[in-house]
């Protein structure tokens, strides 16, 4: 009898432990989920601190997301060939959006020089790779920049770097063109400035209307190049339009 009582007490106690363990695992699961959500939000609020926010690298969160994405499209993230894909994709995505962490002042870094002429400065066919903010697909093209100096000229290599700063973000081509123009205008205070961007959008080529040969052209023109017909014609001729 005593033995039976002991056995049933032991079974009851095991049962309680199981229930307790069950509750505890469930609670832990919820707490973990909540904690993950808080961390995820925190990463994006503290994007600048990419390497380590609350002790966990941003890339780790991105890797989680890419792993979920692989599952969502019906792939098996544990497939041998895909094991490193979340890591690679996360690194690629961080590179493609690194413009968020750059700023104009650091890029220009004082590379302004006195202008000895008021002749137009043109840089054409600057390669440009960006991501469309509607589909997260690339748009690829060229940017042409021209300005009529006022007092300063800018180091030529700075122009592509400024373009990249804005292009390495989620963009629309229209806004990208405007931002490049505004940034150069704020730095140079030129007599006139023009930025023309021509690009092909993979969201139009690979999906949707599936048009392979259409190009979108956007422009932003200010000051003398806008007002003076001859100056505008000179700009268009020099960029080969
Ligand atoms: Zn798009």
| pLDDT digits 0-9 by tens, 42-94 | 555 555 445 444 555 677 799 999 999 999 999 999 999 999 999 999 999 99
Decide yes or no: CATH 3.40.50.1980 for domain 2-96: no
Reduced 3-state DSSP string for 120-154: CEEEEEEEEEEEECCCCCEEEEEEEEEEECCCEEE
pLDDT tens digits along 110-156: 999 999 988 999 999 999 999 999 999 999 999 999 999 999 999 99
Confidence at 210, pLDDT banded by 50, 70, 90 = confident
How many angstroms does the Cα of residue 203 sit away from the middle of ligand 1?
A: 5
Show Cβ contacts of residue 194 under 8 Å, excluding neighbours closer than 6 positions. Answer: 144, 145, 146, 147, 181, 219, 220, 221, 222, 225, 226, 232, 235
pLDDT in the model for residue 55: 55
* CA distance readout (Å), 35 to 67, 69, 87, 185: 19, 21, 22, 45
Strands 121-132, 138-148: pairing is antiparallel
> Helices 173-188 & 158-167, crossing angle to 10 degrees?
140
124: left (phi over 0), alpha (psi -120 to 50) or beta: beta
213 is catalytic: no
pLDDT tens digits along 100-117: 999 999 999 999 999 998
135 is catalytic: yes
Q: For residue 109, what are its two tokens? A: 């870094």
At residue 103, φ and ψ (nearest 5 deg) are -135, 155
How many angstroms does the Cα of residue 169 sit away from the middle of ligand 1?
A: 13
Decide yes or no: CATH 3.40.50.12780 for domain 106-238: no
- The CA distance from 61 to 59, in Å, is 5
Catalytic residue among 132, 181, 197, 220: 132
173 is catalytic: yes
The domain segmentation of the chain, as residue ranges, is 2-96, 106-238
134 is catalytic: yes
How many angstroms does the Cα of residue 69 sit away from the middle of ligand 1?
A: 19
233 is catalytic: no
* CA distance readout (Å), 208 to 173, 200, 202, 219: 18, 14, 10, 25
Give the SS3 label for residue 230. helix
* CA distance readout (Å), 112 to 76, 159, 223, 235: 53, 12, 20, 22
How many angstroms does the Cα of residue 136 sit away from the middle of ligand 1?
A: 7
Residue in 150, 174, 176, 149 with CA at minimum distance from that of residue 162? 176
Strands 216-223, 138-148: pairing is unpaired
132 is catalytic: yes
pTM of the model as a whole: 0.76
- Which contacts (CB < 8 Å, 24+ apart) does range 16-24 have? none
> Helices 2-45 & 58-72, crossing angle to 10 degrees?
110
How many angstroms does the Cα of residue 231 sit away from the middle of ligand 1?
A: 34
Domains 2-96 and 106-238 are alike in CATH topology: no
């Amino acid at each position: 009898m005593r033995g039976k009582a002991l056995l049933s007490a032991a079974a009851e106690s095991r049962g309680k432990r199981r229930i307790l363990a069950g509750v505890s695992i469930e609670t832990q699961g919820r707490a973990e989920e909540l904690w993950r959500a808080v961390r995820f939000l925190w990463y994006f609020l503290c994007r600048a601190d990419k390497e380590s926010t609350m002790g966990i690298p941003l890339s780790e969160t991105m890797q989680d997301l890419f792993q979920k994405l692989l599952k969502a499209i019906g792939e098996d993230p544990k497939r041998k060939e895909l094991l490193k894909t979340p890591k690679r994709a996360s690194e690629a995505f961080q590179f493609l959006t690194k413009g968020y962490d750059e700023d104009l002042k650091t890029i220009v870094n004082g590379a302004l020089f006195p202008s000895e002429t008021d002749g137009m400065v043109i840089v054409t066919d600057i390669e440009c790779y960006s991501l469309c903010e509607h589909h997260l697909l690339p748009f690829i093209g060229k940017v042409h920049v021209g300005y009529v100096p006022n007092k300063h000229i800018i180091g030529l290599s700075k122009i592509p770097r400024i373009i990249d700063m804005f292009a390495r973000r989620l963009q629309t081509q229209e806004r990208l063109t405007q931002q490049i123009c505004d940034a150069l205008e704020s730095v140079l205070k030129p007599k006139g400035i023009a930025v023309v961007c021509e690009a092909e959008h993979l969201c139009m080529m690979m999906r949707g209307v599936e048009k392979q040969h259409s190009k979108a052209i956007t422009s932003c023109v200010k000051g003398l190049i806008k007002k003076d017909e001859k100056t505008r014609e000179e700009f268009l001729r020099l960029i080969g339009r």
